[in-house]
Amino acid sequence: MTYTLHYWQGVPGRGEYVRLAFEEAGVAYTDQSPDWGAGHDDTPSFAPPFLTDGEVTVGQTAAILHYLGPKLGLVPEDARLALWTHQIQLTVADLVVEAHDTHHPLGPGAYYEDQKAEAKTRAQAFRDSRLPKFLDWFEEILTQNPAGDTWLVGDALTYADLSLFHSLEGLDHAFPKAMKRLEGDYPKARALQARVRERPNIAAYLKSDRRQPFGEGIFRHYPELDG
């Protein structure tokens, strides 16, 4: 049975974290605009992305990946490490929210042009304080991993590594100047980013038309927000 990912088409967004897991695992999936009728009334999703897999409907990116991880071989079998992988993914979700709010600090109901002053203030705080704090944490995880600093959890790639990769790609797009200034502080995270990019299935995906370009999504580049 083919998995179906329900997410807005044309932008990477939160759905991209799930797409990367499918692409790395090399499994068949359908990527389509949300079909609310495809879900189950007793487990309704609040918003896309959500996944339908036979009788199972699951929403929220971190929950989708927690569900898919064992099925796709992208999480350790050890229960403690599987939970740790989920915790890392939830922290990625926190980073995603804060990155999005740099350009929409007053909420998604107003256009960026109507909140530019507030966005500049929020973006500076993100660049100066919050972004380094998140990146420090990921670098620390790699440094302290008992299995070595190749991957975030254990000695094999997990969906958390794919998610850190996409987050770094998005931050490079949205804040190229800020990320360039910080680049030397995070050699392990940057090495992981390059390592994921070179994996055969991911490399093929990045060159394909299935890869959605950054634009009107979470990671948006506004030069005035890059300092």
What is the pTM (predicted TM-score) of this model? 0.96
Instruction: Give the mean pLDDT of 66-85.
Output: 98
Question: Does the structure show a pLDDT above 90 at 25?
Answer: yes
Cis check for the bond before 70: say yes or no (omega within 30 of 0): no
Instruction: Give the mean pLDDT of 14-42.
Output: 90
How much is the pLDDT for 35? 82
How much is the pLDDT for 211? 95
Measure the CA–CA gap between 169 and 176, rounded to whole angstroms: 10
Instruction: Give the mean pLDDT of 27-33.
Output: 94
Query: Which of 8-12, 25-29, 129-133 has the lowest average pLDDT?
Result: 8-12
How much is the pLDDT for 109? 87
How much is the pLDDT for 34? 84
Measure the CA–CA gap between 124 and 94, rounded to whole angstroms: 17
pLDDT digits 0-9 by tens, 110-158: 899 999 999 999 999 999 999 999 999 999 999 999 999 999 999 999 9
Question: Does the structure show a pLDDT above 80 at 217?
Answer: yes
Question: Does the structure show a pLDDT above 70 at 1?
Answer: no
Question: Does the structure show a pLDDT above 80 at 36?
Answer: no
Question: Does the structure show a pLDDT above 90 at 169?
Answer: yes
Sheet with 3-6, strands from edge to edge, namely 29-32, 3-6, 50-53, 56-59
CB atoms within 10 A of CB 153: 22
DSSP 39-57: S-TTS--SSS-EEEETTEE
Share of the chain above pLDDT 90, in %: 86
Question: Does the structure show a pLDDT above 90 at 44?
Answer: no
Instruction: Give the mean pLDDT of 20-27.
Output: 98
DSSP the chain: --EEEE--TTS-TTHHHHHHHHHHHT--EEEES--GGGS-TTS--SSS-EEEETTEEEESHHHHHHHHHHHHT-S-SSHHHHHHHHHHHHHHHHHHHHHHHTT-TT-TTS-GGGSHHHHHHHHHHIIIIIHHHHHHHHHHHHHH-TT-SSSSSTTS--HHHHHHHHHHHHHHHH-HHHHHHHGGG-HHHHHHHHHHHTSHHHHHHHHSTTSPPSSSSSS---GGG--
Write down all domains in the chain, each with its CATH number in brackets. 3-72 (3.40.30.10), 79-198 (1.20.1050.10)
Mean pLDDT of the chain: 95
The residues that bridge with 51 in the sheet, in sequence order, are 5, 58
